[in-house]
Amino acid sequence: MSNNNGFENFSTQIIDMLVDTTLKKHGAKLDAEKLDSQDKERIRNLVESLKQSVDDLTRVRKEEGNQEKEKG
């Protein structure tokens, strides 16, 4: 997630999931123990977003390390 739009999308997904979880915890929906297909899809999307963030961070750190080696 190298751009701000990706970060905002990721933040929105996390907030939506937290709100839904809280509502379910307090009995706002029936079958609070079960994940519906929408919740499963949100979790998949969050995991993919996290994977992408980790990959991007790893790439940036590796590039920074290579630049420092070239200087030193």
The predicted structure's pLDDT at residue 33: 64
State the chain's mean pLDDT as an integer. Answer: 79
Share of the chain above pLDDT 70, in %: 85
User: Region 32-48: what's the mean pLDDT?
Assistant: 81
Provide the domain limits for residue 20. Answer: 4-71
User: Region 45-64: what's the mean pLDDT?
Assistant: 88
Yes or no: say if 14 and 46 are a contact pair by the CB < 8 Å rule: yes
Say which residues have a Cβ less than 8 Å from residue 46's Cβ, sequence separation at least 6. Answer: 10, 13, 14, 17
**Burial environment of residue 55 by CB neighbours within 10 A (0 to 12, 13 to 18, 19 or more):** exposed
Backbone angles phi, psi at 26, to 5 degrees: -100, 15
Q: Residue 30 pLDDT > 60, yes or no?
A: no
pTM over 0.85: no
Count of domains observed in the chain: 1
The predicted structure's pLDDT at residue 18: 84
